[in-house]
Structure 1
Amino acid sequence: MESLIATGQAFLEWLQMPAVIATAIAFCIGGYYLIFGGEQGRQKAVKWFIGGVVGLIVVLGAYSLANSISSNIKF
């Protein structure tokens, strides 16, 4: 069971860096829409910004949840 938990934590650690990169890309795309998109671009930009932040929170929250569960629950 310990190896399964360690594998899950290692996977979530690995997933954090691509999530940060994807968030940066989402912010760049949102910034492009914000600067060059006019009124409709601003609406699209807000969606990109929110999507990037929510995605990053989900990935970082999953890692935090996995750490707290593994440290508090004993099998």
Structure 2
Amino acid sequence: MDALVNSIDRLVTWLQYPAWSLFGLCLIIGGYFFMSGGREGREKAKTIWISGVIGLFVVLGVKAIVSNVKETQVFGVVLDGLTRLF
């Protein structure tokens, strides 16, 4: 079980780098639409910014969940307890 949790932790850590880059790109593209697009551009910019923030929160939230599971090892304790019962 430790190997699975560690693999997921490494994968999520690796995914954070492109997530931050894409978030920055969303800010830049949204800023371009905001500055040059008029009323429609402002709406597009808001959509791009909100999507970027949501995507970043998802990746950071997954990292927080994986870190919590890694620290507490809840799955290992539960599985260990079940094997003792049977």
Specify if TM > 0.5: yes
Q: Which runs of 5+ in 1 are unaligned?
A: none
| AA matched with 1:41 | G
When the two structures are superposed, what TM-score results if normalisation uses the length of structure 2? 0.84
Which amino acid is the alignment partner of residue 13 of structure 2?
E
Matched with 1:11 is 11
- TM normalised by structure 1 equals 0.95
Equivalent in the alignment of 2:41: 41
Structure 1 segments, 4+ long, off by >3 Å, are none
Q: Work out the CA distance in 2 between the residues paired with 1:74 and 1:62.
A: 16
Q: CA RMSD in A?
A: 0.9
Deviation, structure 1 residue 21: 0.2
Rg bigger for which structure?
2
CA distance in 2, matches of 1:27, 1:55: 12
Is 1:66 matched with 2:49?
A: no
Fraction of identical pairs, as percent? 35
Q: How many pairs align?
A: 75
